């Protein structure tokens, strides 16, 4: 039993890797699900949650006066899933929210910019110049978010147990590499590490309840 977080830039095939890995392991695979749950539970429009984890804190402040409150909501939703174990999470901020849990394998998936531009052009029906602009802007916003909220650049390899450049391999190759690593005892859930997840989840819930008791509102 273990947890995997997969971080990637837009159109880097990380979603495909996550879904195939989860199927091979028999694990739950989540990403946008956490946004939807947080949106429903805390009555926040989903589009604002999506922007919140892509945009740097200056943008967040225009929405509701700061990013800390939102980060707590999203982290709490993700930790609820982490308590159940056997999880592959791909998407926003997982490597930050779950970084202190021993049995979490943190993976970064990279793809070359030419491949990403082609994917963006195909899906959005835009020119190469437009696609490159969108990708660079998205990457920069995610970098700013990580630095300003957690003090670390999400492109920093020290955040991850493994960085995979998928440009020269298939999705199945990447899945096989991660699967083999998950067989190591290092990433197996122990009673101690499960207790750590439970404590983090409870603390996150307590923080949310404290916000509610103080009458904090998002709008």
CATH number for position 95: 3.40.50.300
Residue 189 lies inside a defined structural domain of this protein: no
pLDDT for 44: 67
Question: Is residue 182, in this structure, part of any structural domain at all?
Answer: no
Task: Confirm whether 216 is domain-assigned.
Answer: no
Contacts of 114 (CB under 8 A, 6+ apart): none
Q: Domain for residue 186, yes or no? A: no
Is 215 within the bounds of a domain? no
Residue 55 lies in a domain: yes
Whether the pLDDT of residue 164 is over 80: the answer is yes
Q: Which domain holds residue 23?
A: 3-173
Q: Which two tokens stand for residue 141?
A: 């916003």
Rg (Cα) of the chain, in Å, rounded? 18
Q: Global pTM?
A: 0.82
Residues 86-140: tens digit of each pLDDT: 999 998 788 888 888 999 999 999 988 888 898 889 888 999 999 999 898 888 8
Domain count, the chain: 1
For 111, the 3-state DSSP assignment is coil
64-67 contacts: CB < 8 A, separation 24 or more? 64/218, 64/219, 67/149
Segment 195-212, tens digit of pLDDT: 999 999 999 988 888 877
pLDDT digits (tens, 9 = 90+) for 16-51: 999 999 999 999 999 878 877 777 776 766 666 666
Q: What is the overall mean pLDDT for the chain? A: 83
Determine the Cα–Cα distance for residues 3 and 77; give it in Å rounded to an integer. 15
Identify whether 132 is part of a domain: yes
pLDDT confidence tier of residue 54, bands split at 50, 70 and 90: low
Q: How far is CA 110 from CA 142, 155, 169, 173, in A?
A: 14, 10, 11, 14
Q: Distance of alpha carbon 117 from its chain centroid, rounded?
A: 22
| pLDDT in the model for residue 218 | 43
The answer to whether residue 184 sits within a structural domain is no
High-pLDDT (> 90) share of the chain, %: 42
Confidence of residue 10 (pLDDT cuts 50, 70, 90): confident
* pLDDT at res. 219: 39
Report the interhelical angle of 113-124 vs 128-150 (nearest 10°): 110
The strands making up 3-8's β-sheet, listed across from edge to edge, are 28-30, 87-90, 3-8, 104-110, 162-165
């Amino acid at each position: 039993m273990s947890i995997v977080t997969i971080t990637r830039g837009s159109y880097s095939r990380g979603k495909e890797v996550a879904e195939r890995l989860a199927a091979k392991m028999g694990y739950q695979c989540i990403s946008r699900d956490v946004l939807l749950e947080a949106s429903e539970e805390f009555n926040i429009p989903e589009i604002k949650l999506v922007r919140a984890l892509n945009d740097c804190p200056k943008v967040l402040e225009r929405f509701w006066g700061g990013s800390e409150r939102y980060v707590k909501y999203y982290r709490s939703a993700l930790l609820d899933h982490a308590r159940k174990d056997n999880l592959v999470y791909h998407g926003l901020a997982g490597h930050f929210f779950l970084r202190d849990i021993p049995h979490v394998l943190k993976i970064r998936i990279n793809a070359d910019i030419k491949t990403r531009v082609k994917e963006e052009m195909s899906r959005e029906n835009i020119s190469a110049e437009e696609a490159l602009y969108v990708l660079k802007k998205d990457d920069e916003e995610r970098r700013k978010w990580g630095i300003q909220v957690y003090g670390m650049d999400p492109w920093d390899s020290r955040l991850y147990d493994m960085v995979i450049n998928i440009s020269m391999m298939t999705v199945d190759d990447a899945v096989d590499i991660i699967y083999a690593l998950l067989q190591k005892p290092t990433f197996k859930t122990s009673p101690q590490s499960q207790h750590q997840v439970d404590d983090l989840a409870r603390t996150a819930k307590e923080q949310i309840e404290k916000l509610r008791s103080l009458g904090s509102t998002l709008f």
